[in-house]
Amino acid sequence: MSIYLDCNATTPIEPEVVEKINNYLTKDFGNEGSHTHEFGSIAKKAVQEARDNIGSLIDASRNEIIFTSGATESNNIAILGLKDFGEKNNKKHIITTSIEHKAVLEPIEELKKIGFDVDILNVDKSGRINPKDLKDKLKKDTLLVSVMSVNNETGLIQPIKEICDLIKDNECFFHVDAAQGFGKDIETLKNKRIDLMSISGHKIYGPKGIGALITRLRNFNKPPLKPLFFGGGQEAKLRPGTLPVHLIVGLGIAAKIARKDHKKRSDKNKKIFDQIMKLMKDLKGELNGDEKYLLGNCINFSIPNVDAEAFMLTTKDLISVSNGSACTSSTYEPSHVIKSMTNDDNRIRGAIRVSWCHLTNDKIPINELIERLKNII
């Protein structure tokens, strides 16, 4: 089987996480909302421990963590949930970027359809926005600024700290889609100026189908979100439905391990990073973005005159890579992220995303890959 190098799409799951999930599927399977017996008490305690494990990574308290089905749902709640507040208080201006995940851009587009004013910031060839551009767009009626922490296609870190400093005197809410940064860019995401943060279990070696929305208190008040659907009082009445305790436990354990093993994981990722950079350079590839802003577990590059589909077909028995976001790969459209960085059609069509993790087999057949790919260059 080929070596899996598509961890930004989904990560392998930690063995300890699998073990804990199985326990809460087969033994401690109680409903967290059941208060009349031991099974419910055990489940409730497990959920609270998961909140604590997640909170310790981002300096958040239990009551600031709302469990969801994943970052897509968290993004939708964070954005669409502010609609009523924005309309009531005549704050209908939103700022975001051209490289956000569709789970951010499409909800914002829905608000634009009903009269919200939207500014979309472009990135430069480094793959990052210029904080000055954001400053120039800020208004008194700005409701929301939404900027991802790490781009899912390029692995480039956005200037979150600079944005936090820039908006400190503005009352707007700051939302960060941290699906790719949570558990990896740890210190940045502890910034208290981030009001809303979306995270996902299957990006940090946890299970699919679980995530969270962090709703930080500001002056002892939570962001004024309204639920998108109804039918129960779970998760502070913001996200009703029976809690999937086994998945929540899995996310919590994944967060706990991420904090404990952060340095060890970074060291392993650096070894693989060096191998992939050698592959790119030997093939005279061009990095999409500026290397100094990379998180260290993903690069996106283009090889002159080599189409991404040809690259993947030629190497599919050796490595498993992608040409963009897994959420949009079925459409076969050019990446909106790479298009934001360059107008070179060949570079856009040739863009390859390679992403890895500490669980990746580091014996990547670089020399064999180079020999094969030279045949199509």
Q: Which residues are catalytically annotated?
A: 327
Q: Which helix (H) or strand (E) holds 176?
A: strand 173-177
3-state class (DSSP) for residue 122: coil
Cβ atoms within 10 Å, residue 178: 28
Say how many CA atoms lie within 13 Å of 284 toward its Cβ.
5
Q: From CA 118, how far away is CA 234, in angstroms rounded? A: 32
3-state class (DSSP) for residue 172: coil
Would you list the DSSP string of 227-285?
A: -SS-SS-TGGGTS-S---HHHHHHHHHHHHHHHHTHHHHHHHHHHHHHHHHHHHHHTT-
Q: Is the distance from CB of 65 to CB of 212 less than 8 angstroms?
A: yes
Q: From CA 352, how far away is CA 214, in angstroms rounded? A: 32
Q: From CA 113, how far away is CA 95, in angstroms rounded? A: 15
320 is written with which tokens?
A: 């498993």
- Neighbour-count burial of 282, counting CB atoms closer than 10 A to its CB (0-12 exposed, 13-18 middle, 19+ buried): middle
Q: Which helix (H) or strand (E) holds 202?
A: none
76 is written with which tokens?
A: 């939708």
Q: Identity (one letter) of the amino acid at 85?
A: F
Site of tokens 């070596």: 3
**Percent composition of the chain: helix, strand, coil (DSSP 3-state, to 5):** 40, 15, 45
Q: From CA 267, how far away is CA 265, in angstroms rounded? A: 5
Q: Dihedrals φ, ψ of 302, to 5°?
A: -125, 140
